[in-house]
């Protein structure tokens, strides 16, 4: 196979064969195909797309690019949850402990930040000492003991996805349905979960800007999982505004802790409860209403927070930070962003908010860039809130880029529309695909 011919074929709208897809993935992982050719093919796929069979073959090639895990040592059903990425989305830190507290194992492999969205691994590594590089044996032991472990993607698990994930992040080829679906499902199928709940975001802060695109992606992934024998469900959720009030790694962990204490933002709590309940349904714990009631009970009684602390301790982190978030290091520099005039916040560009946090150091512009765990944004005013001229609408934080505060403030204000009338309430969960 000559990579030039494969790129040209897809660029011109052709359909790639199973052999061409397998040769590309195998060659890229082995280092025979350079980044620039892989990026060219990703861009061709971005513009030309893939049909269902091509997407499935790409998914299976990614799955088979490394080892596949079989957690025979973990007792009971295992259910996972995955989000397609959004701004302020820290639901995994809430959902996974809640589900584990109700007797369902969560052996979760998570990714790092991608574009303007954050990654669960980056958030957890903001906790002092927390390890995400466990061996399979450690992983299984912790899941059996606490019900939950969250680790980074193993180097040997779907290595093609890890390589493509980083490449897409810096080549503007993230928001492509075949590439997103194969990336997510490739590594999910390489793990040994019985069921998967997908949170497919749509709106200004999501990779899928329209609900129709989000539904197409959800249906594609649910069908891939179903064909592989997995129990599947997907929620289409709104990302036209950030989820919760915190954007940035330490700030989001702290907000997740507040939510597990029962005092988190309403939208974050609502979505976390819905995702956890769907996971319990897939695990056979009852109908949706009963599962939702059980989740809310463990949100109120602190059982979810207890499991999070146990996981943090088991993975080498300082569990005191979970019970006392003031222990998280504070950013050395901050800036208050003030409303330029009075009115009502009628809309925001969630991606613009994510970009502002990236400017502060909370995300990556290149695949090797370090993250500032203390950087981010705390929103004091959100869509629908009334503001007075000069009132603080957000606080920006950075521990490494004081020179970036003004640029981030300008970006946040440019992404905030202040008008005269309160906007209508938006539905958070737009659809369910089963």
Q: Report yes or no: 344 and 384 within 8 Å, Cβ to Cβ.
A: yes
pTM for this model (two decimals): 0.89
The CA-atom distances, in angstroms, between 400 and each of 24, 315, 327, 376, 409 are: 39, 27, 19, 11, 16
pLDDT at 73: 74
pLDDT digits (tens, 9 = 90+) for 95-122: 999 999 999 999 888 766 555 556 888 8
Q: Looking at residue 13, which CATH number applies to its domain? A: 1.20.970.10
User: Do 269 and 351 fall within a single domain?
Assistant: no
Range of the domain at 402: 330-419
Q: Which of 6-10, 63-67, 259-263, 352-356 has the lowest mean pLDDT?
A: 63-67
Question: Domain containing 393 — which CATH number?
Answer: 3.90.1170.30
- Same domain? For 28 and 101 the reply is no
Question: Has residue 144 got a pLDDT over 80?
Answer: yes
Quote the pLDDT of residue 405. Answer: 98
116 and 21 belong to one structural domain:
no
Percentage of the chain exceeding pLDDT 70: 97
Domain shared by 215 and 263, yes or no: yes
Mean pLDDT for 167-177 is 88
Please give the residue that has the higher pLDDT: either 212 or 157. 212
Instruction: Out of 72-81, 153-162, 268-277, pick the least confident.
Output: 153-162
In a domain, 134, yes or no: yes
Answer whether residue 231 is part of any domain: yes
Closest by Cα among 189, 43, 126 to 373? 126
How far is 129 from 371, CA to CA, in rounded Å? 16
Within this chain, do residues 392 and 407 fall inside the same structural domain, yes or no?
Answer: yes
29 CB-near residues (< 8 Å, 6+ apart): 65, 66, 159, 160, 163
Residue 119: its pLDDT value, please? 81
29 and 136 assigned to the same domain = no
Of residues 403 and 77, more confidence is placed in 403
Q: How many domains in the chain?
A: 3
pLDDT band, very low/low/confident/very high, at 369 (cuts 50, 70, 90): confident
**Chosen domain end from 269, 294, 325:** 325
User: Which residues form the catalytic set?
Assistant: 82, 161, 168, 183, 187
- Tell me which of 369 and 120 has the higher pLDDT: 120
Residue 325 burial (CB < 10 Å; 0-12/13-18/19+)?
Answer: middle
The enclosing domain of 109 has a CATH number of 3.40.1030.10
- Which range has the worst mean pLDDT, 19-33, 59-73, 269-283? 59-73
Same domain, 215 and 353: no
Q: What pLDDT score does 9 carry? A: 97
Same domain, 264 and 348: no
Are 103 and 204 members of one domain? yes
User: Is pLDDT at 70 greater than 80 in this prediction?
Assistant: no
* pLDDT tier at 193, thresholds 50, 70, 90: confident
CA atoms 173, 20, 84, 209: torsion sign: positive
């Amino acid at each position: 196979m000559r990579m030039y011919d494969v790129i040209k074929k897809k660029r011109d709208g052709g359909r790639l064969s199973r052999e061409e897809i397998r040769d590309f993935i195998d060659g890229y992982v082995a280092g025979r195909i350079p980044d620039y050719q892989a990026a060219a093919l990703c861009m061709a796929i971005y513009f030309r797309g893939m049909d269902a069979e091509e997407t499935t073959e790409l998914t299976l090639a990614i799955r088979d690019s490394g080892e596949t895990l079989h957690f025979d040592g973990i007792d009971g059903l295992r259910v996972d949850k995955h989000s397609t990425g959004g701004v302020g989305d820290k639901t995994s830190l809430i959902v996974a402990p809640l589900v584990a507290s109700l007797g369902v194992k969560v052996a979760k492999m998570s990714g790092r930040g991608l574009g303007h969205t954050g990654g669960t691994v980056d958030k957890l590594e903001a906790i002092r000492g927390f390890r995400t590089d466990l061996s399979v044996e450690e992983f299984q032991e912790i899941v059996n003991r606490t019900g939950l472990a969250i680790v980074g993607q193993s180097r040997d698990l779907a290595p093609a996805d890890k390589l493509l994930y980083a490449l897409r992040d810096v080549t503007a080829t993230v928001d492509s349905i075949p590439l997103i679906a194969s990336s997510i499902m490739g590594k999910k199928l390489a793990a040994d979960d019985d069921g998967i709940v997908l949170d497919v975001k749509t709106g200004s802060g999501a990779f899928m800007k329209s609900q129709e695109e989000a539904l197409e992606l959800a249906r594609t992934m649910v069908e891939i999982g179903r064909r592989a024998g997995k129990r599947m469900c997907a929620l289409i959720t709104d990302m036209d505004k950030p989820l919760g009030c915190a954007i940035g790694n330490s700030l989001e962990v702290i907000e997740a802790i507040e939510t597990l204490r029962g005092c988190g933002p309403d939208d974050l709590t609502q979505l976390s409860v819905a995702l956890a309940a769907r996971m319990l349904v897939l695990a056979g714990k009852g109908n949706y209403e009963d599962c939702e009631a059980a989740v809310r009970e463990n949100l109120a009684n602190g059982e979810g927070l207890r499991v999070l602390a146990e996981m943090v301790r088991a993975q080498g982190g300082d569990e005191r930070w979970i019970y006392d978030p003031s222990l998280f290091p504070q950013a050395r520099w901050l800036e208050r962003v003030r409303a330029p005039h009075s009115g009502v916040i009628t809309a925001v560009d969630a991606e613009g908010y994510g970009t502002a946090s990236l400017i502060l150091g909370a995300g990556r512009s290149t695949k090797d860039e370090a993250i500032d765990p203390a950087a981010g944004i705390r929103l004091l005013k959100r869509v629908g809130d009334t503001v007075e001229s000069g009132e603080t609408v957000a606080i920006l934080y950075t521990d490494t880029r004081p020179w970036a505060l003004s640029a981030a403030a300008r970006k946040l204000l440019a992404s905030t529309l202040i008008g005269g009338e309160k906007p209508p309430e938006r539905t958070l969960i737009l659809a369910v695909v089963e």
